[in-house]
């Protein structure tokens, strides 16, 4: 239920609005399913490492990158999650502003964005337990509203009407780019995979819960966005992508409620993930959860007023994929192949040990990441590939790190670290 609520979120929903009418409605739905399944495989693989070791995602990067080298993905993760929290708070503020303005005439998007993010920070302070309590209820309410919106759309127009929408003469999105954006969405969520899956009751629960939950939420949310945009077009409205008000107006204020609740559900996970990443940045440090949550929460509240970031969302999402697809490729190779599905207790050491490498950095991992990240950027902006950059960058980095690390692969398996989640307080 945590992962089901996670991607029933306004950003994922509005991402679905980007694809219509550039791509035929039926093809968009197929690409959403394909990209989500591919991305969920990466998310589940990383989440399972968290379940087996009890460590959050960024702490796991010490395995391939080294104790100090892991600060590279840790820093990138905090920046990316902060950006996510800002974007979602702004969109929630716009949705809540439209609802309040409808009933009272009062309008202040900035004020409502700050209010939404303040509530999120309060929920995140309660840690994993707080997330686990509120997420199922958010999921149930959002699913009910989503069902209502689908009913409204398909009782007003037939599936044939949706399929008959004329594509844009000169579309920005190709089928390959749609797949890439959907895959990049999953990559952006994988930064939190182990943070939550480390608390799963079993490895099987971790795999099934996150795999099914994430896949359902993403397919439902993006399909809902594509359907809502198609509905607007069929009603003769103007198709303004990534604008919550565009799809709230024809469907009604209940859609605004869904957007507001989705941000409460998802941004709570995002802020909690930022705090967990910071607290676990380096072993041996004693950074406390609550003060960190308050500081990062305050920054996220202030940043929620920078509405200009909304115009850069696609760039932000592609950048996330470019940074983290190579990182997760390296993590998967390192754990499942090079380290034979086991990290030992040295990963908890602040200095020395198996994961110290050279001065605390595994330069083979860093070099592989640089190659993957540069190629992802080049394939996205310099020589754009028709099928996007995320999947190619992941595959190339996977192969490069495998080739350079295979000669040093240990001949004997090590005794794996136990699952610390069973004896560790949330946020520790």
Q: Is residue 21 included in any domain, yes or no? A: yes
Q: pLDDT-based confidence at 424, cuts 50/70/90?
A: very low
**pTM of the prediction?**
0.84
Q: Is residue 286 included in any domain, yes or no? A: yes
CATH of the domain at 57: 1.10.4160.10
Q: Is residue 426 included in any domain, yes or no? A: no
pLDDT of residue 264: 74
Helix or strand run (H / E) with residue 243: none
What's the alpha-carbon Rg for the chain, to the nearest Å? 21
* Total tally of structural domains belonging to the chain: 1
- 127 pLDDT more than 70: no
Q: Is residue 335 included in any domain, yes or no? A: no
Q: Which residue has the higher pLDDT, 10 or 92?
A: 92
Q: Tell me which residue range forms the domain holding 154.
A: 2-311
Share of the chain above pLDDT 70, in %: 92
Q: Is residue 56 included in any domain, yes or no? A: yes
- 423 pLDDT more than 60: no
Structure tokens at 21: 């009418």
Q: Is residue 316 included in any domain, yes or no? A: no
**What are the DSSP calls for 282-324, one per residue?**
STT----HHHHHHHHHHHHHHHTT-GGGGGGHHHHHHHHHHHH
Cα 279 to Cα 48: distance, rounded to the nearest angstrom: 21
For 4-13, 27-36, 157-166, 301-310, which range has the lowest pLDDT when averaged over its residues? 4-13
For 280-299, b where at least 16 C-beta lie within 10 A, e where not — what string? bbbbeeeeebeebbeebbee
pLDDT of residue 286: 78
Q: Is residue 20 included in any domain, yes or no? A: yes
Q: Is residue 407 included in any domain, yes or no? A: no
Q: pLDDT-based confidence at 22, cuts 50/70/90?
A: very high
């Amino acid at each position: 239920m945590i992962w089901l609520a996670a991607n029933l979120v306004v950003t994922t929903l509005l991402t679905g609005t980007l694809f219509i009418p550039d791509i035929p409605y039926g093809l968009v739905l197929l690409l959403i399913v394909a990209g989500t399944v591919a991305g969920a495989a990466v998310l589940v693989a990383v989440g399972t490492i968290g379940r087996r070791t009890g460590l959050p995602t960024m702490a796991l990067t010490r395995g391939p990158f080294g104790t100090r080298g892991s600060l590279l993905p840790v820093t990138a993760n905090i920046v990316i999650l902060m950006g996510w929290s800002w974007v979602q708070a702004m969109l929630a503020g716009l949705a809540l502003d439209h609802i309040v303005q409808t009933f009272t005439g009062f309008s202040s998007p900035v004020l409502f964005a700050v209010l939404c993010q303040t509530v999120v920070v309060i929920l995140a302070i309660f840690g994993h337990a707080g997330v686990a309590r509120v997420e199922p209820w958010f999921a149930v309410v959002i699913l009910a509203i989503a069902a209502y919106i689908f009913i409204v759309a398909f009782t007003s127009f037939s599936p044939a009407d949706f399929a008959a929408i004329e594509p844009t003469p000169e579309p920005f999105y190709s089928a390959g780019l749609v797949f890439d954006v959907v895959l990049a969405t999953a990559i952006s969520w994988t930064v939190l995979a182990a943070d939550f899956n480390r608390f799963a009751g079993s490895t099987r629960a971790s795999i099934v819960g996150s795999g099914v939950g994430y896949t359902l939420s993403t397919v439902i949310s993006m399909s809902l966005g594509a359907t809502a945009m198609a509905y607007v077009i069929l009603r003769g409205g103007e198709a303004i992508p990534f604008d919550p008000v565009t799809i709230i107006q024809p469907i009604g204020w209940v859609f605004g409620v869904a957007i507001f609740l989705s941000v409460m559900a998802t941004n709570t996970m995002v802020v909690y993930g930022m705090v967990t990443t910071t607290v676990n940045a380096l072993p041996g440090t004693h950074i406390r959860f609550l003060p960190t949550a308050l500081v990062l929460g305050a920054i996220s509240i202030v940043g929620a007023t920078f509405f200009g970031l909304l115009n850069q969302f696609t760039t932000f999402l592609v950048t996330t994929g470019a940074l983290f697809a190579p990182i997760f490729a390296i993590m998967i190779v390192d754990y499942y192949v090079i380290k034979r599905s086991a990290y030992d207790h040295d990963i908890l050491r602040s200095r020395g040990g198996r994961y110290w490498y050279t001065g605390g950095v595994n330069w083979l991992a860093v070099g592989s990441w640089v190659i993957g990240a540069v190629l992802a950027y080049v394939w996205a902006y310099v020589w754009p590939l028709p099928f996007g950059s995320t999947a190619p960058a992941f595959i190339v980095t996977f192969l490069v790190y495998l080739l350079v690390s295979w000669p040093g692969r240990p001949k004997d398996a090590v005794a794996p670290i136990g699952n610390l989640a069973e004896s560790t307080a949330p946020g520790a």
